[in-house]
Amino acid sequence: MAYNDVPLAAQRIKDSQAPIRQNFQDIQTDFSANHVPIDDPSGNGGKQQFIQFPNVHIDADMPTAVGEVGILPKTGFLGAPALFFRAENNATVPSTGFTECVAAAVGWTRLPCGILIKWGVVSVNSSGSITRNFNTGPTIPVFATTPFYYQFTPERVTATPPTATIYIDSFGGLQSATQFTMYITTNASGGNTLSVRWLAIGT
C-alpha cells in the first residue's frame, strides 16, 4: 500500500480529499487480507480467518513480555519453515518447531509445550539385554535430559507352520538422554525375528 501523507499544512480540503479517501480504501483492502472484510454484512467483519507468516527466514526470536506468549516462524530443525512457540518473559525457544514431525515407523515430533516424543522399533531374535540409541541424527533433536516416560510393546506372532506362538517380552532398564537398554525374553529361534516398538517422552 502506497500511503498518502495527507493532509499537509496549508493544504486545501479539495486537494486532500481524494488521497485521504484513497488511504481509507487501501486500509480496508489491506485489513481484509486474511480477515472477513470489515463491511461484511454477516456481522463477522474484521474477524481473523487464517494467518500467514511471510518472513519465515528471519530466524530471530521475537521478545515476549511477562504475561504474553508468541508464535514465530523460523527455519525448522528439518530445514523447512516451521512454527515455534515462545512462552512469556523471553523464555527459551525450543530447538524444533511444534509443526515439525517425522511420521514414520521411526520418528519424532515436538509439542507446543516443549515436550519431545520419539518412537521406533528394534528387531530381536534372542533373549538378553539390548542397548540402543534413541533415534538420532543431524535432523533429529536430542532429549535434554533422560526421558521421564518410556514404553515397550513386544510382538507375538504365530510360526509358519503354526506349531507354536513365538513370543517376546521386554522391559526397560538403564536409560539416558541418548540411549536405553531392554531386557528381552523370547523363544524366537531358527531365523525368526520379532520386533519391539518403543516410545519415549521427554523434553
More confident residue, 54 or 6: 6
Alpha carbon separation from 176 to 163, 183, 203 (Å, rounded): 40, 16, 12
pLDDT at 32: 84
Q: Find out whether 72 and 61 touch, Cβ atoms under 8 Å.
A: yes
* Cα–Cα dist 194/168, whole Å: 7
Say if residue 152's pLDDT is above 90.
no
CA gyration radius, the chain: 28
Say if residue 118's pLDDT is above 90.
yes
In the DSSP assignment, the letter for residue 189 is -
Phi (first) and psi of residue 174, to 5 degrees: -65, 140
Q: Integer distance in angstroms from the first to the last C-alpha of the chain?
A: 44
Can you give the residue ranges of every domain in the chain? 1-52, 53-99, 101-203
Mean pLDDT of the chain: 83
Q: What is the DSSP string of 56-98?
A: GGG-------TT--EEEEEE-TTSSEEEEEE-TTTPPPPSS-T
User: pLDDT by residue (tens digit) across 35-93?
Assistant: 998 888 998 988 989 888 876 666 778 889 999 999 888 888 888 888 999 989 999 88
More confident residue, 4 or 91: 91
* CATH fold for the domain made of 101-203: Immunoglobulin-like (2.60.40)
User: pLDDT by residue (tens digit) across 105-115?
Assistant: 999 999 988 89
